[in-house]
Structure 1
């Protein structure tokens, strides 16, 4: 193992993008998505990656956090400061996938992953808010895991976790939380791995 770049405050969400021959990753503290190419070139891929409001100085982590690619290879971005999940379209525009749940703004979407059927799962803790759980901007009473597909947002569990899909049929969601490991068998009608 060797260091390829430094000078970041906090890095998150690394994802290899084959068509760019590059690694993309977030620095939430610097509000930037960086690109590191296979040839060793580091550059800014997207600045103001998570927030551009006038009160940005209040945020410790206003930028993007988790990054992943959807089944069509488009970059999906969790934007801490803007409280939303977006997708970078081929033409460079952003589409908002999720911003509210039951009329309330999301907290600060953090980790994310697509399931084999194209359903997006993401965590929504308040870690991107200046005062975390006590922040007055926190509108949702939960900080959970959500699923999104075809414009429909569902709450899967009420607490933030790190997660991965597994099992023989791809229907098992494994969650890591503090000092425990959880398993959820997903038996939702119409959802196939």
Structure 2
């Protein structure tokens, strides 16, 4: 089944959408929107407009959009920790930072083994308070989304910051690690690989890694799903374990068994998304130049 807003590949997808609810456009005017995060206490959404070096803010109560911070060190991904603090990946700062409740900023990690990170891209917080993030090279490849600079690390990897601030490398077998999310039970970590941008023969995919060592490390990964349109960039998981991922033609929804259930079709390439709203049943979507939102019959998983 297909329609203007949806493409249904599996009957299970019909139970995850409202066929009479299409996407809303909340804002336009970006160059490459990324890093959406919903802050429940204030009922507002923030996102990055990376080339314009700004963070934007949408107020759920009145629909107003304003600049949250500019310049912002070319932020990319964001997430919210268990205390409601905003965690940020900075391209220009080549670090992961945190906005404290008093408005100050703390640098959580900016180097590994004495060498600067490439350009932290996306981030997630586990229930134990550890921060997991990816470090591809997009922010140092040119001056468009950061500052062009040589790579100091020996590749593009993923890392974990423990609650005490110690940093460990958890993934070293990817071309360009990008979006990431835990399964609801935190037994697995999903990570997308957008390596096609630098390695043309590389097939865009999401890989799955078992969480081991008491939740502090990952086991050997495996390819989980492949992208049939564009690449998988950022994505989120709902409370039933379904994956809602960005793609070249909108959002692709996968069941926990890897079946492509269906798509939410959009007219722009999607970079990232997050669940939000009081019931966490609204998808906020970063679609190249715009921010879209759509209600679904699913709720976003939280640590």
With normalisation by structure 1, the TM-score equals: 0.85
Distance 1:190 1:26 in 2: 30
1:165 equivalenced with 2:182 (yes/no):
yes
Within 5 Å, give how 1:86-101 maps onto structure 2.
Answer: 86-101=97-112
Q: Report how far residue 145 of structure 1 moved.
A: 0.9
Within 5 Å, give how 1:125-164 maps onto structure 2.
Answer: 125-131=136-142, 136-149=149-162, 150-158=164-172, 159=174, 160-164=177-181
Equivalent residues of 2:121, 2:178 under 8 A apart? no
Distance 1:101 1:31 in 2: 25
Moved more, 63-72 or 169-178: 169-178
Equivalent residues of 2:140, 2:149 under 8 A apart? no
Q: Which runs of 5+ in 2 are unaligned?
A: 1-22, 194-202, 218-302
Q: Which runs of 5+ in 1 are unaligned?
A: 51-62
The residue number in structure 2 matching 1:47 is 70
Structure 1 segments (4+ residues) deviating >6 Å: none
Within 5 Å, give how 1:8-157 maps onto structure 2.
Answer: 8-38=30-60, 39-50=62-73, 63-131=74-142, 136-149=149-162, 150-157=164-171
User: Which of the two has higher C-alpha Rg?
Assistant: 2
With normalisation by structure 2, the TM-score equals: 0.55
RMSD: 2.0
Equivalent residues of 2:141, 2:149 under 8 A apart? no
Q: How many pairs are equivalent?
A: 178
